[in-house]
Amino acid sequence: MTNSNQIHTLKTLAKRYARANRLTQHQALDLVAKQLGFSHWVALKGASKSNWLPSSEELAKIESLVGNSFPTYQIREVDPNAMNLPFEDMEYEEGKIGGHTFRLMEALDDVYMSGEGWNIHVPEAPNAVPVVEIAENSSDSNPIHNTKFLQEALRIANKRAQQIRARIATDWPRRSTKPDAEGNVRHPLRDELSNQWFCLHCNGAITGPQIAENLWHCPGCGASPLDIFDTAFWLGENDERPRPVTVSKIDQIKEPEVKTVDTSLKLELNEANISLLIRSALIEDATNASERLGAILAEITVDDGNDAEVAFDEDLWPADKEPVQALAVAELLGVELHQAMMWRPVPFAWPGLGEYTSSTLEYTQMMLDAYARQGSKQNTK
């Protein structure tokens, strides 16, 4: 490799580092030079003219520096026995801190790290505060209670978050992450250029440098780039004007928000779940195809007190038939179940045909035959 080729390689690596870390080109060049023992890039260039060349080890050092700005994935199979977020089927990395296994994954550009009895969530926005969740009933041996363990876990999770942000910054237009001399930045998702931006979510006013530094998340409320616009078009004449958003320094180490969470599984008795269980029981109560259709089409409503009413179609469900299984399920759930009859157009003619069979296949054939006969009769007129 010639002298010029090696210097070109260093400049290319510096450019990638600048994009990933939202630095100016000269800052990245100086950083690369300092990694190689020079005071700044000009000094490195001067040495190169005197036949100095970076060794293969020094080039590898700079490549490693740049490579650490981007996430890499090494997926391994693992038998999880942790607090574990609901992403069992998603890709993750496995590692250990002091003998304690953890899982690390990315979802929608947020970072999640979990172990037995604990979880860490680092949002995409650079100014967001990490959240540490500790299982309510976790034992004293839960490693997350150890300050050193927590600090190391946060370091790993934050490093992955920085890599994700670097990838995002690299994918976006350069002007979206580096304001010009007037503070103008370009929205990464829309063709808008401005030095003043507004948050649809909190009605905050944000400068170009502020929004670029926080990767287009509102520094005030954390709203996504989709909620950031160059005009507050949603405000009327009498609405309160947007207020400037105050921003803490992005690079400050943020103390995590620690929460104790109840991870025990609970049955949520809402309208959807109650209706689902009652309808399933109604299908068990059905003894023929017609009643089964009646169970499927029955209107089930649940009030605020979780009492329910089932309205059967009078053509599909016998008026004197008790839904024994449905009543038993309701009693088990502590729900009072009321019954009613109603009339409405049914999907097929001759609903009574279904009373002669419990087979949907046989009922369908009977119905098709009846429709065919009706059609034949009409054609003779």
Confidence (pLDDT) at 69: 63
Across residues 38-45, what is the average pLDDT?
83
Dmax over CA atoms of the chain, in Å, equals: 107
Looking at residue 355, its amino acid is: E
Residues 186-239 pLDDT 10s: 999 888 999 999 998 888 999 999 999 999 999 988 888 988 999 988 888 888
Whether 132 and 152 have beta carbons less than 8 Å apart is answered as no
Share of the chain above pLDDT 70, in %: 90
Please give the structure tokens belonging to residue 217.
């998340």
69-90: average pLDDT: 45
What is the Cα–Cα distance from 46 to 4, expressed in whole angstroms? 13
Let me know: does 288 contact 356? Beta carbons within 8 Å. Answer: yes
- pLDDT, position 151: 92
Asked if the model's pLDDT at residue 2 lies above 60, the reply is no
**pLDDT tens, position by position, 124-142:** 998 889 999 988 877 777 8
Higher pLDDT, 194 or 22: 194
Could you list the beta-strand ranges (E) of 86-137.
93-97, 100-107, 110-115, 118-122, 131-135
Distance CA 201, CA 198 (A): 9
Residues above pLDDT 90, as percent of the chain: 37
| Residue 71 pLDDT grade (very low, low, confident, very high; cuts 50, 70, 90) | low
120: Cβ–Cβ under 8 A, 6 or more apart, which residues?
A: 111, 112, 113, 114, 130, 131, 132, 133, 153, 154, 157, 256
pLDDT higher than 80, residue 1:
no
Above 50 in pLDDT, residue 79? no
What is the chain's mean pLDDT, rounded?
Answer: 84
The whole-angstrom separation of Cα 2 and Cα 141 is: 58
3 state SS of 247: coil
| 148-176 average pLDDT score | 90
pLDDT of 221: 87
Of 49-53, 90-94, 173-177, which one has max mean pLDDT? Answer: 173-177
Long-range contacts of 99-103 (CB under 8 A, 24+ apart): 100/143, 100/149, 102/153, 102/156, 103/78
* Residue of higher predicted confidence among 18 and 359: 359
Paired strand residues for 261: 135
Number of residues in the chain: 381
Residue 77 has pLDDT above 50, yes or no: no
Q: How much is the pLDDT for 4?
A: 62
- Assign 250 a pLDDT band (cuts: 50, 70, 90): low
pLDDT at residue 338 in the model? 92
Structure confidence at residue 138 (pLDDT): 73
User: What's the pLDDT tens digit per position in 303-330?
Assistant: 888 889 999 999 999 989 999 999 999 9
**Is residue 181's pLDDT more than 80?**
yes
In the prediction, which pLDDT does 70 show? Answer: 59
- Angle in degrees, 0-180, between the axes of helices 25-35 and 56-67, rounded to the nearest 10: 130
Note the pLDDT of residue 78: 34
Residue range 345-355: average pLDDT?
88
Model confidence at 17, pLDDT cuts 50, 70, 90, reads: confident
381 pLDDT tier (thresholds 50, 70, 90): very low
| Between 104 and 264, residue with greater pLDDT | 104
337 sits in which H/E element: strand 337-342
Q: 64 Cβ partners below 8 Å, 6+ apart?
A: none
Q: Are strands 204-207 and 196-199 parallel, antiparallel or unpaired?
A: antiparallel
Q: Tell me 354's DSSP state.
A: G
Per-residue pLDDT band at 378 (split at 50, 70, 90): very low
In this predicted structure, the answer to whether residue 284 has a pLDDT above a threshold of 80 is yes
- Which pLDDT does position 81 carry in this prediction? 42
- pLDDT value for 90: 57
The tokens describing 244, both together, are 């400037």
Quote the pLDDT of residue 29.
87
